[in-house]
Amino acid sequence: MRSLDLRTSSSASRRPQRTKASLRISCWLFSLMIIFTVAASANAQDFRVVTNVSYHDQQTDRWDSLARSLTLFHAGKVYDFVEAVGEVVVFDPMQDRFVILSLNGNALATEVPFEELHQFLKVGRAETFKYISELQLRRNDAADRAMQSLTFQLKPQFNEGFDPANGKLRLSSEFITYEVETDIVDRPMIVQQYLQWADWTARLNSIIHPQAVAPEVRLAVNEALRTRDRVPTQVDLKLSLDGDMHLRAEHTFKMQLTRLDRDAITKWEGLRTADNVRWVDFREYQRVLVTSAARSTASR
């Protein structure tokens, strides 16, 4: 199922005839792809991450909980479950796609191929540049700051600092500052697996929540972590865009899955192939959920 087909086809008459040598090369390359795919799957490690996100209320000087998520890494896939949202997002890099399953009783599912996701991002980036051009014409302080903020998000330039003694990483700028507590894990591939998922999730979140910070910002943080081969245990995000905001994400890593984790994965995989699941394109999936949420709110 695809909501946007980016592939182009060509007639058989336009295809060059393959020689035996080229066929041998193609078979050899295909064999290498299989080897690398199997190796990547074999090296994938199972672990879990519990994330608690909170918001700092400046008036009360208190931290208020916003969300809690459970992220399970298993057999090369990642299952990200947010109970308050009522859905699980499956990151499937072997198939170059996300699969999103609604758990709200409506038997709804969608698929977002990476190719389609890149197209969404391309369109969103073009729209942002267009909006920046419009802001330039307004010639006032508010428009200038908004323009500078958006320009920064598209190509972030941070002042970066890292203290190896305590593992604290800081990426600061006029608009956005990250303060990250990090840790070293003693199992290979954990950092790469986690940050690969974090990269793609940042891209997906930017199209699910267009008002969020551009994905390039989080990608810069992930790259700083990747360079130092560390995982984040606490991320403080301070925004100075339309007013000040301070968010905190606390990540707890466990290097094995529980029985309940494995039961959940089995259940979610079963939902993907259930006969009663209705597969729709991504925009239709969003429309149905937004409409359902509005109806639920109105009925209260």
| pLDDT (tens digit per residue) in 53-94 | 999 988 888 999 999 999 999 999 999 999 888 999 999 999
Cα R_g (the chain), whole angstroms: 22
| pLDDT score of 44 more than 70 | yes
Q: Look at residue 292 in the predicted model and tell me its pLDDT.
A: 60
* Three-state DSSP class for residue 75: coil
Q: Which residues contact 73 (CB under 8 A, 6 or more apart)?
A: 44, 45, 46, 47, 48, 49, 193, 194, 197
Residues forming a β-bridge with 57: 62
The residue that leads in pLDDT, 32 or 154, is 154
Out of 2-11, 132-141, 224-233, least confident range: 2-11
The residue that leads in pLDDT, 231 or 30, is 231
pTM summary value? 0.81
| pLDDT score of 201 more than 90 | yes
Residues forming a β-bridge with 71: 49, 80
Q: Look at residue 295 in the predicted model and tell me its pLDDT.
A: 47
- pLDDT tens sequence across 252-280: 999 999 999 999 999 999 998 898 999 99
Which band of pLDDT confidence, cut at 50, 70 and 90, is reported for residue 296? Answer: very low
Q: Look at residue 289 in the predicted model and tell me its pLDDT.
A: 75
Which sequence spans correspond to the domains of the chain? 19-43, 47-298
Scored b (16 or more CB within 10 A) or e, 23-54 reads eeeeeeeeeeeeeeeeeeeeebbbbbbebbbb
| pLDDT score of 11 more than 90 | no
Out of 11-20, 38-47, 136-145, 194-203, least confident range: 11-20
- pLDDT tens sequence across 144-164: 988 999 999 999 999 999 999
Q: What is the DSSP string of 138-198?
A: H-SHHHHHHHHHHHHHHS---EEEEETTTTEEEEE-SSEEEEEEEE--SSTTHHHHHHHHH
How does strand 108-113 pair with strand 278-280? parallel
Q: Look at residue 29 in the predicted model and tell me its pLDDT.
A: 38
List the Cα angle 244/249/255 in 5-degree steps.
165
Is 57:37 a contact under the CB 8 Å cutoff? no
User: Distance between CA 117 and CA 283 in Å, rounded?
Assistant: 12
Q: Look at residue 252 in the predicted model and tell me its pLDDT.
A: 98
Q: Look at residue 278 in the predicted model and tell me its pLDDT.
A: 93
Q: Which residues contact 108 (CB under 8 A, 6 or more apart)?
A: 101, 102, 277, 278, 280, 285, 288, 289
The residue whose two tokens read 């003694």 is 165
Q: Look at residue 6 in the predicted model and tell me its pLDDT.
A: 31
Scored b (16 or more CB within 10 A) or e, 176-191 reads bbbbbbbeebeeeebb
E strand residue ranges, 184-276: 231-241, 243-254
Is 44:193 a contact under the CB 8 Å cutoff? yes
Per-residue pLDDT, averaged over 5-17, amounts to 34
Out of 34-43, 57-66, 217-226, 242-251, least confident range: 34-43
In what side-by-side order are the strands of the sheet with 97-102?
A: 159-163, 168-172, 176-183, 231-241, 243-254, 47-57, 62-74, 77-82, 87-92, 97-102, 108-113, 278-280
User: Distance between CA 125 and CA 119 in Å, rounded?
Assistant: 10
Which band of pLDDT confidence, cut at 50, 70 and 90, is reported for residue 18? Answer: very low
- pLDDT tens sequence across 278-295: 999 999 998 887 666 544
Is 240:174 a contact under the CB 8 Å cutoff? yes
**186: which 2 tokens?**
């003693």
Q: Look at residue 229 in the predicted model and tell me its pLDDT.
A: 96
* Three-state DSSP class for residue 105: coil
Which band of pLDDT confidence, cut at 50, 70 and 90, is reported for residue 15? Answer: very low
User: Distance between CA 208 and CA 295 in Å, rounded?
Assistant: 20
The residue that leads in pLDDT, 125 or 211, is 125
The residue that leads in pLDDT, 175 or 7, is 175
- pLDDT tens sequence across 117-149: 999 999 999 999 999 999 888 888 888 988 999
